[in-house]
Amino acid sequence: MSNISAHSGSGQNSDSAGRLLRSIFTYVALVFYSLGILFPLAWLSYTALKSTQEIFNKDPWVLPAAPHWENFRNAWFGMSGEPGLGPYFGNSVQITVITVFLILALGSMATYALTRFRFRGADTLLNLFISGMVFPIFLAVVPLFLLLNQTRIPGIAPRGFVNDYRGLIAVYVAYSLPFTVFVLSGFFRSLPRELEEASALDGASPWQTFLRVMLPLAKPGLIVAGVFNVIGIWNEYPLALVLLTDRSRYTLPLGLAQITQRQQYSADWGALFAALFVVMVPTMLVYLFFQRQISEGLTAGAVKG
């Protein structure tokens, strides 16, 4: 690395020359890495508008001659007898919304109980929840599948909970609790104790204190936990792969993987690029709006875990 040797030389001139060289090297590296991320994404975006012939015969850095918007129609509604992403998108929205709502409800209830009330075992239980962050999911995958498959409740789930969104959602909630409790416990702990006293003195019931006073104050924590869980559930693959076997019940990641595998043989590549684009847009939007919360949550979770 020439910049280092240049730098270790004495004298003002070689010093600033070394600095300049190092600076150039730094920016070249940064730009190179940025292009490594941006170019594939850009390529994906404009290739979604190309015809399959163009994808095969033209250079990949050439923009589409004319936009093939029908790629998006084919991706969404399906092509040549294959199902499109539309239904999977709907499934994923449904599952994500319900799951994240339940995670935040159960997570904030449990965290509130464990951080704002002193009783024997409270810290142990809190640690038990948080330790779930290091449990590997794959270890539980076989027993989990068998449990959901064999739990049959006449009238409610006569054929078990595999392919049943209630089963998948319950599993998602359970596996998201450790991180959620971990994030929320930091926020709940930081709230001053006088708030509960004042609220109780004003005649509020414990539930009113929790819902009307404490939850609104923990809102920043709920946002971090919510954003994280939305991304996590929206993207989740291995548990859905195991717990959903019926194609019509697939979530978006499963559906996309499935369409790509099937399409390898009939190959409408333009529509596949469009499908991939559709899958990535929601996460891009969430990231644009919540970038700060996401890096906060990642840092907190990483250093703790």
Question: In the bound complex, what is the minimum distance in angstroms from residue 301's beta carbon to other proteins?
Answer: 10
Write the DSSP symbol of residue 58: S
Closest CB to other proteins among 119 and 265? 119
Tell me if 289 contacts other proteins by CB under 8 A.
no
Least CB distance from residue 171 to other proteins, whole Å?
5
The window from 22-30, 69-77, 80-88, 218-226 that contacts other proteins (CB under 8 A) reads 22-30
Report CA 12 to chain centroid distance, whole Å.
Answer: 50
Residue among 11, 13, 120, 153 that touches other proteins (CB under 8 A): 120
* In the complex, least distance from residue 215 CB atom to other proteins, rounded to whole angstroms: 12
Structure tokens at 271: 């529509």
Here the tokens at position 196 are 């509960």
Give CA–CA dist 258/277, Å, rounded: 16
Residues in 222-251 at the binding interface with other proteins, rule: CB under 8 A: 231, 234-235, 237-238, 242
Q: How far is the CB of 73 from other proteins (least distance, A)?
A: 20
Window of 64-72, 80-88, 114-122, 213-221 that interacts with other proteins by CB under 8 A: 114-122
Q: Which stretch binds other proteins (CB under 8 A): 65-73, 83-91, 217-225, 286-294?
A: 286-294
CB 137 to other proteins: min, Å? 8
Helix (H) or strand (E) holding 222, with range, is helix 219-235
Token pair in block for residue 116 = 């704002």
Whole-angstrom CA distances from 112 to 116, 216, 304 are: 6, 13, 20
CB of 234 to other proteins, least distance (A): 7
Query: CB–CB of 194/247 below 8 Å?
Result: no
Q: How many CB atoms lie within 10 A of CB 195?
A: 14
Is 17 near other proteins (CB under 8 A)?
no
- Please report, as residue ranges, which positions from 25 to 84 form the binding site for other proteins (by CB under 8 A): 26-27, 29-30, 33-34, 36-38, 40, 43-44, 47, 55-56, 59-60
Considering beta carbons, is residue 213 or 286 the nearer one to other proteins? 286
Residue 283 sits in the site that holds other proteins (CB under 8 A): yes
With H, G, I as helix, E, B as strand and everything else as coil, classify residue 157: strand
Distances (CA, A) of 273 to 49, 85, 115, 251, 286: 8, 12, 47, 18, 21
Could you tell me the smallest distance in angstroms from the CB atom of residue 294 to other proteins?
6
Residues 154-213 interacting with other proteins (rule: CB under 8 A): 170-171, 173-175, 177-178, 181, 193, 196-197, 206-207, 210
Residue 252 found at the interface with other proteins (CB under 8 A): yes
49: CB partners within 8 A, 6+ apart: 64, 67, 68, 69, 71, 270, 274
In 3D space, the residue among 190, 178, 191 whose CA is nearest the CA of residue 125 turns out to be 178
Contact pick of 70, 132, 204, 223 for other proteins (by CB under 8 A): 132
Q: How far is CA 90 from the centre of its chain?
A: 17
Residue 165 or 273: the one with the smaller Cβ distance to other proteins is: 273
| Sign (positive or negative) of CA dihedral 92, 97, 103, 106 | negative
The CA distance from 35 to 12, in Å, is: 34
